[in-house]
Amino acid sequence: MSPGEAPLPARFYPAGGDAHGHPARLAWDGGMLLVQPEDSPALRVPASQLRIEPRGFNHSQWAIAWAGEEGATHTHLLIVDDARIAPLRAAAPALFAAGDTTRRHSHRRFRVGIVLLAAIPLAFVGALLLSVEPLAERLVDHIPPGVEQQIGEAVLAHTRAAGPMITEGPAFDALQAIGKRLARPGEVLHFHLAARPELNAFAAPGGIVVVHSALMAGAGSAEEVAGVLAHEIAHVELRHSLRQIVKSAGLRIILTGLSGDYAPLGGWAAQLGELKFSRDAERAADARGLERLKEARIDPMGMLRFFETLAVNTPSGPALLSTHPATAERIDSLKAAIAAAPGAPAQSIGIDWEPVKNDLNGPPGK
């Protein structure tokens, strides 16, 4: 400490004294620490007898200790706040070297500890997120068919509220006839025609398939629509729609469903529009859809022709290709699958498509 500099405030705990300590002032004088307690005589302690080390939470204080009188079992102790120790540190830096090293290591450990504490909730959240998929799969496996039907009805109600539906006429009849041809014995499927300008179709749980009127108007034949329907039915059969709804619902609704309460899941499904599936799910639906077309003796080239037509004639991207991306790779896969297993000779669906197109080109929502 430089001459004339104000003494440092400290708390003095003399050897053998009480535990409360006494106010004191410190100064550095020619290699000696001058201790001036308020209620006892001053002490002069050589630097060689001093031991200085950090103390307190996050080392916010310094302890200055030295041996008591010869034969004593206690030591004298001074406690100084770190915010006030700078003058003494500047006067005798060597006495603080070991303590500074300890403080650096401690601060490093403290920072690491803070990071780890912050990481614990993040790790917990991460674990919950990772658990969503297996829990969702478990819930899907346990949802009864009746509940699945209710969820599908909730999605359909959302579609009906969004715009008019077509419930009669040549286009509606054609959709039902194509769907009936594709359905297997004992299979319950429901086909709905929505008056919408987007080229799209989507599947919902419980065997519900919704087709937009623009898609049927844009198709060149019943076989092309059959290809789209076969793909959507495959999504229902493979429970892709239900699985996607459950995964989108989040952990809280999934856990509620696992307890047997499916009402929140139905409410969540009612808020959703058309679902987007993964590339793997789309490939699986393509493959299963081709199998269904072959079973029904419907020309599988209809599916391929419709997707190729959409890809070429609507470069801006129709809704159907945005929700079911028909990439060049996907079309090539369809071609290869059709060529590899041509199936039995196809039989025409037998629907005159011009009246269907004319019906859909009339006033919407009739």
Query: What would the pLDDT profile of 168-182 be if each residue is shown by its tens digit?
Result: 999 999 999 999 999
pLDDT at 261 over 80: no
Instruction: For residue 14, give Cα distances in angstroms to 67, 82, 330.
Output: 10, 21, 86
Tokens linked to 364:
């919407």
In terms of Cβ atoms closer than 10 Å to its own Cβ (0-12, 13-18, 19+), residue 283 is middle
pLDDT at 14 over 90: no
Q: Which of 238, 192, 237 is nearest to 215 (CA)?
A: 192
Query: What would the pLDDT profile of 342-359 be if each residue is shown by its tens digit?
Result: 777 889 999 999 999 999
Q: Lowest-confidence range among 106-110, 222-226, 295-299? A: 106-110
Q: Which residue did the predictor score with more confidence, 194 or 68?
A: 194
Tell me the mean pLDDT in the region 192-211.
Answer: 92
Task: Name the 3-class secondary structure at 316.
Answer: coil
Radius of gyration of the chain (CA): 40
Output phi, psi for 172, to 5 deg. Answer: -65, -45
Task: Name the 3-class secondary structure at 71.
Answer: coil
Instruction: Tell me the C-alpha distance between 202 and 62, whole Å.
Output: 72
Q: What is the pLDDT at residue 128?
A: 45
- Residue for token pair 């059969």: 237
Tell me the mean pLDDT in the region 64-70.
Answer: 79
Tell me the mean pLDDT in the region 263-284.
Answer: 70
Q: Which of 80, 76, 90 is nearest to 8 (CA)?
A: 80
Count CA within 13 A, CB hemisphere, residue 75: 13
Instruction: Tell me the C-alpha distance between 345 and 342, whole Å.
Output: 8
Q: What's this model's pTM, rounded to 2 decimal places?
A: 0.59
pLDDT at 297 over 70: yes
Instruction: Tell me the C-alpha distance between 199 and 319, whole Å.
Output: 6
Q: Which residue did the predictor score with more confidence, 210 or 138?
A: 210
Q: What is the pLDDT at residue 191?
A: 97
Instruction: Tell me the C-alpha distance between 194 and 120, whole Å.
Output: 49
Instruction: Tell me the C-alpha distance between 265 and 148, whole Å.
Output: 10
In the chain the domains, ranked by start, together with CATH numbers, are 8-95 (2.30.29), 143-360 (no CATH)
Long-range contacts of 328-337 (CB under 8 A, 24+ apart): 330/282, 330/283, 330/286, 331/304, 331/307, 333/283, 333/286, 334/286, 334/290, 334/303, 334/304, 334/307, 335/304, 337/286, 337/287, 337/290
Instruction: Tell me the C-alpha distance between 226 and 290, whole Å.
Output: 10
Tokens linked to 25:
């002032």
In terms of Cβ atoms closer than 10 Å to its own Cβ (0-12, 13-18, 19+), residue 42 is exposed
Q: What is the mean pLDDT of the chain?
A: 80
Q: Lowest-confidence range among 26-35, 74-83, 237-246, 255-264? A: 255-264
Query: What would the pLDDT profile of 109-128 be if each residue is shown by its tens digit?
Result: 666 655 655 555 544 444 44
Q: Which residue did the predictor score with more confidence, 203 or 132?
A: 203
Tell me the mean pLDDT in the region 116-142.
Answer: 55
pLDDT at 129 over 70: no
Tell me the mean pLDDT in the region 249-269.
Answer: 63
Instruction: Tell me the C-alpha distance between 75 and 232, whole Å.
Output: 86
Task: Name the 3-class secondary structure at 239.
Answer: coil
Long-range contacts of 88-91 (CB under 8 A, 24+ apart): 88/1, 88/8, 88/26, 88/28, 88/33, 90/1, 91/1, 91/2, 91/28
Tokens linked to 4:
């004339």
Q: Which of 50, 55, 49, 112 is nearest to 80 (CA)?
A: 55
Tell me the mean pLDDT in the region 194-223.
Answer: 92
Tell me the mean pLDDT in the region 215-221.
Answer: 93
pLDDT bracket for residue 279 (50, 70, 90): confident
Output phi, psi for 299, to 5 deg. Answer: -55, 115
Q: How many CB atoms lie within 10 A of CB 183?
A: 17
pLDDT at 263 over 50: yes
In terms of Cβ atoms closer than 10 Å to its own Cβ (0-12, 13-18, 19+), residue 342 is exposed
